[in-house]
């Protein structure tokens, strides 16, 4: 069964369509491009998402 996400876009994005949305699911996190929402998405486990956030926070 496909994961159902609650999609959110950063408030820093304003009304621009040049950003990504994060989808909070029960089992994982989805990431998609706002310019092409039906074009697919990345799916990350929660531990992988946390590791990703930690990595970019250190840059």
Per-residue pLDDT band for 1 (boundaries 50, 70, 90) equals low
Domain of residue 52, residue span: 6-57
- Asked whether residue 25 is domain-assigned, the answer is yes
Summarize pLDDT for 7-22 with one digit per residue, the tens: 998 877 777 777 889 9
Q: What are phi and psi of 57, to 5 degrees?
A: -70, -25
> Looking at residue 2, what is its pLDDT?
66
- Bridge partners of 54, per DSSP, are none
Number of domains making up the chain:
1
**What is the reported pLDDT for 34?**
87
Alpha carbons 44 and 30: distance in angstroms, whole number: 6
- Residue 1 domain-assigned (yes or no): no
Is residue 29 in some structural domain? yes
| 19 within domain boundaries | yes
- What does the pLDDT look like over 2-59, one tens digit per residue? 678 999 988 777 777 778 899 999 989 999 988 888 898 999 999 999 999 999 999 8
33 lies in some domain: yes
Question: How far is the C-alpha of 53 from the C-alpha of 46, rounded, in Å?
Answer: 11
């Amino acid at each position: 069964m496909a994961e159902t996400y609650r999609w959110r876009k950063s408030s820093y994005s304003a009304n621009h369509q040049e950003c990504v949305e994060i989808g909070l699911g029960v089992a994982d996190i989805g990431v998609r491009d706002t310019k092409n929402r039906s074009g697919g998405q990345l799916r990350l486990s929660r531990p992988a998402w946390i590791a990703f956030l930690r990595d970019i926070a250190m840059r």
